[in-house]
Each structure stands twice: as C-alpha cells, then as structure tokens.
Amino acid sequence: MILEYKMDRNRDGSLVVPPWIECCGFMFNPVNKTFVGFSPSVREYKIPDSVTALTVAQAKTRMLDIHATTPLVSDGVEMTTVEVEAMVDSIISNNNIA
C-alpha cells in the first residue's frame, strides 16, 4: 500500500516516522511537508483515516507535480519527466509494492 503521510511528533517533541509506515521517506513534498511511504495491504493494525492511499499513477502524478515546482536534479542536471516517472517506478519496485 502506497501512503502519503506526515511525520508524527513524539513526547519529546521530535518528529518521527509513524509506526504504521514500514518503509519511508520517499518523494518529499516541500510545500506541505508530506512523504510517501509503504505499509502492507494486509495488516493487524489501523492506519489513520487522514492518511491518503495512492495508486502508482497517483504517486507518479504527485511526484511530477512536485518536480514542476521544485525540479529534481540528478548528477547536476534537471531530470526529465520520463526520468521522474522511472524513479517512482524504481522506488515502488524496490519496495515490492503494486
């Protein structure tokens, strides 16, 4: 399951990854401070209703929207939209999602 999430705050006031995110920190959106992470589709715990589940297509659109306002760079060169989509595919594939 692909999830868009924000960090939680622990008792000490530090920002921490929510415990229901198993693999995290991908595709940061600097505008609203959200990340993309992954959680199993079948699980024994609840994910908050405020968390947005994404399809692969939605994850690509999200990253392309971020890229349009904050261009992604690889080896000092701005990435193309094809490269951004390939990056999203790679992240999803490497995490055995979708």
**Is it the case that residue 95 has pLDDT exceeding 80?**
no
Per-residue pLDDT of 61-81, as tens digits, reads 999 999 999 999 999 999 999
**Domain boundaries, position 32:** 2-94
Residue 21 has a pLDDT of: 92
**Would you say the pTM of this structure is higher than 0.95?**
no
Contacts 24+ apart (CB under 8 A), 90-94: 91/26, 91/27, 91/36, 92/2, 92/56, 92/59
| Total count of domains within the chain | 1
Per-residue pLDDT of 27-48, as tens digits, reads 899 999 999 999 988 888 899 9
**Is it the case that residue 97 has pLDDT exceeding 70?**
no
